[in-house]
């Protein structure tokens, strides 16, 4: 059974969906753009059935969680660490499962506080430095057109026009073999409507302020640190947002165990498309298989 819980933590008051027995090993599930926890509900149930406590918070900038920024990955990682302290106050290892922006936050949190996390999973977005290499060296730059669009003044109005028609287009393009059920589409739209334009501002925080963005790319700070937390990376073969090849060479950014696997007949939104398979692969990885 999936329930709604409130997480009052040091960095704010966050709402979350949760499934599984309190006290079971914790998997903190982090959503991305343009998404919300309701599309992860089946995955939460699948993880609970495998013996985990799965909790999926609405991220900063997504109602009903705090809408105020900043939205840089270090601030978002600080939210995650505060949730870990609230959900696992005895210091037990927390497992992260992050999709899209949630994957970027997973890499960052694991870089900043590796002792806090056990084996974790990222979906659909490779290590940020691998992704940056792919954008500057391959046709990935064409797939990432929306990131550049969101830098332009007025993009907020364009993306929200006609009841978020652009957002619906992204879902169709990024997961071409999947149709988001009407009820979940309504949940995502309602969340975006109450949150806008905060979810779009994540993309502006990637580059602004420029000096801070460059600092995060240094080898001794932030996301540029080689990760010691074991990471399983899953990517849909039919992903229309990020090509599977974008993860090529990502192993250089990991000092700990790293495994990359493709998911056949799946696109970008893996948790919604094949929750049972993602839960099975996640549980096997967490058990060391």
Lowest mean pLDDT among 120-124, 134-138, 270-274: 134-138
| Reported confidence tier of residue 262, pLDDT bands at 50, 70, 90 | very high
Provide the number of structural domains found in the chain. Answer: 1
Q: Domain containing 212 — which CATH number?
A: 3.40.50.1820
**Range(s) of the domain holding residue 165:** 3-286
Give the whole-angstrom CA distance, residue 21 versus residue 14: 20
Give the whole-angstrom CA distance, residue 173 versus residue 177: 9
At residue 46, φ and ψ (nearest 5 deg) are -65, -40
pTM of the model: 0.95
For residue 16, pLDDT beyond 80: yes
| Reported confidence tier of residue 226, pLDDT bands at 50, 70, 90 | confident
| Reported confidence tier of residue 89, pLDDT bands at 50, 70, 90 | confident
For residue 247, pLDDT beyond 90: yes
pLDDT value of position 186: 98
User: Max alpha carbon distance in the chain (Å)?
Assistant: 48
Give the whole-angstrom CA distance, residue 38 versus residue 169: 19
Lowest mean pLDDT among 70-84, 110-124, 152-166, 202-216: 202-216
| Reported confidence tier of residue 92, pLDDT bands at 50, 70, 90 | confident
Give the whole-angstrom CA distance, residue 283 versus residue 47: 7
Higher pLDDT, 180 or 215: 180
Give the whole-angstrom CA distance, residue 167 versus residue 190: 12
| Reported confidence tier of residue 219, pLDDT bands at 50, 70, 90 | low
For the chain, percent of residues with pLDDT exceeding 70: 94
For residue 113, pLDDT beyond 80: yes
pLDDT value of position 227: 94
| Reported confidence tier of residue 91, pLDDT bands at 50, 70, 90 | confident
For residue 129, pLDDT beyond 50: yes
**For the residues 146-166, what does the mean pLDDT come to?**
96
């Amino acid at each position: 059974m999936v329930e709604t819980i409130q997480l009052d933590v040091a960095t704010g008051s966050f709402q979350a969906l949760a499934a599984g027995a309190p006290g079971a090993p914790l998997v903190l599930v982090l959503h991305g753009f343009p998404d919300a926890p309701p599309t992860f509900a089946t995955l939460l149930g699948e993880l609970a059935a495998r013996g985990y406590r799965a909790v999926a918070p609405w991220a900063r900038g997504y109602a009903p969680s705090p809408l105020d920024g900043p939205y840089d990955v270090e601030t978002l990682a600080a939210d995650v660490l505060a949730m870990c302290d609230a959900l696992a106050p005895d210091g037990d290892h927390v497992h992260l499962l992050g999709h899209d922006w949630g994957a970027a936050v997973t890499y960052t949190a694991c870089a900043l506080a590796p002792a806090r996390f056990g084996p974790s999973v990222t979906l659909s977005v490779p290590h940020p430095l691998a992704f940056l290499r792919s954008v500057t060296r391959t046709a990935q730059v064409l797939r990432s057109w929306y990131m550049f669009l969101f830098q332009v003044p007025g993009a907020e109005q364009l993306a929200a026009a006609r009841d978020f028609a652009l957002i619906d287009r992204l879902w169709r393009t990024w997961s071409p073999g999947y149709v988001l059920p009407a009820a979940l589409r309504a949940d995502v739209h309602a969340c975006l409507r109450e949150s806008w334009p905060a979810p779009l501002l994540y993309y502006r925080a990637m580059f602004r302020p420029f000096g801070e963005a460059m600092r995060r790319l240094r080898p001794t700070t932030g996301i540029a640190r080689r990760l010691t937390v074991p990471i399983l990376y899953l990517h849909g073969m039919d992903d229309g947002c990020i090509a599977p090849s974008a993860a090529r060479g990502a192993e250089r950014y990991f000092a700990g165990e790293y495994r990359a696997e493709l998911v056949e007949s799946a696109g970008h939104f893996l948790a919604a498309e094949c929750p049972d398979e993602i839960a099975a692969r996640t549980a096997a990885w967490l058990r060391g298989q």
